[in-house]
Amino acid sequence: MSEKAEHVKCLIIGSGPAGYTAAVYASRAGLEPVLYTGPEPGGQLMITTDVENYPGYPDGIMGPQMMEDFRKQAERFGTQVRMEMITKVDFTGPVHKVYTESGQEILADTVIISTGASAKWLGLESEQRLARNGGGVSACAVCDGFFYRGKEVAVVGGGDTAAEEAIYLSKLCPKVHMLVRRDELRASKIMQERVLNNENIVMHWNTSTVEVLGENEVEGVRVINNVTKEESTIPLSGFFVAIGHKPNTDIFKGWINMDETGYIQTKPDTAKTNIEGVFASGDAQDNVYRQAVTAAGTGCMAALDAERYLTDKGII
């Protein structure tokens, strides 16, 4: 623990579109923000290829490039970007205490939470073991699909993420097994059509995973039909899990109001949380839209709310 705590007017936690947009607005407003990137600098867009739906890029842009541009724009106005994690908070007093991984205490007049969300797993022992050792279980087709070129793979899930992953993999792999636990997809109509009309994608309806097979590398998957209860095995080299996301909000539990799945609750039409001077933006508080552009929008809201709060308190 360092001797003396640093005092900042605005601390931003997270470095996706929400955090960096908050930083651009906060730094231009003179809040001298300090931004902690967290364990995945750049957030989820770092594991994306083409971003085609962010306005202003008629030809699309690569996710990592976009995040580098976001960072440069925030730094241009004086944001201090630190590649470290915040591991603990204490929101008891009017000045908020925040602790870094290395034990440094920071006192912050305002905190903007933009910690995003991470991919969910099925929770099977075999899945976790083969994900940990890089044995062919992944939650990101764009990151790892390349390794399975010309091989058979499976994607678990029936939402837009699973559809996107299956379509991406279908360009690399001759056969993509899509394992859907119900008899319909949750994905949007257009994604459903693309999946169902893709001849490299084989649908397995009412199907759940029992076990991912293979000691050190994926060799197949044992599945069960939820209606007939019949079990069968599909030989595979790669197993991709795409069943949604979990907000990265664990360190705020007990301080900040959240819904039952951990998404932070903000006051209607604001980025305000239940704690004065603490604001939330991006996927950490949004389980509905979850887009880069909406995250950026709420990052802007958080910075404007923080600026007004600091003005009202006479701090700036």
Binding mask 257-296 for ligand NDP (x = CB under 6 A): ---------------------------------x------
Closest approach of Cβ 202 to ligand NDP, in Å?
Answer: 17
CB of 187 to ligand NDP, least distance (A): 7
Residue of 122, 210, 293, 316 interacting with ligand NDP (CB under 6 A): 122
Q: Which C-beta is closer to ligand NDP: that of 34 or that of 243?
A: 243
The alpha carbon dihedral of 57, 58, 60, 61 has a sign of negative
State which residue has the least CB distance to ligand NDP.
Answer: 159
3-state secondary structure of 304: helix
Q: Catalytic residue at 140? A: yes
Q: Considering the complex, state which of residue 151 and residue 186 has its C-beta at the smaller distance from ligand NDP.
A: 186
CA separation for the pair 148, 167 (Å, rounded): 14
177 binds ligand NDP (CB under 6 A): no
Closest approach, Cβ 146 to ligand NDP, in A, equals: 20
Q: Using the rule CB under 6 A, is 159 a contact of ligand NDP?
A: yes
- Please, what sign has the CA dihedral across residues 25, 31, 37, 41? positive
Q: Which of the residues 50, 69, 90, 143 is marked catalytic?
A: 143
Q: How far is CA 271 from CA 10, 28, 55, 275, 302, in A?
A: 14, 19, 22, 11, 5
Specify the residue, 162 or 300, whose C-beta has the smaller distance to ligand NDP: 162
- Per the annotation, the verdict on 300 as an active-site residue is no
Tell me, by CB under 6 A, how many residues bind ligand NDP. Answer: 17
Helix axes 63-76, 17-28, angle to 10 degrees: 20
Phi, psi of 142, deg, nearest 5: -65, -35
Does the footprint of ligand NDP cover residue 142 (CB under 6 A)? no
Asked about 144 being catalytic, the answer comes back as: yes
Whole-number Å distance between alpha carbons of 162 and 10: 37
The DSSP-derived string for 78-129 is TPEEE---EEEEE-SSSSEEEEETT--EEEEEEEEE---EEE-----HHHHH
- Tallying the residues shown for the chain, one arrives at 316
Residue ranges in contact with ligand NDP by CB under 6 A:
122, 156-162, 164, 181-182, 186, 188, 243-245, 290
Residues recognised as catalytic: 140, 143-144
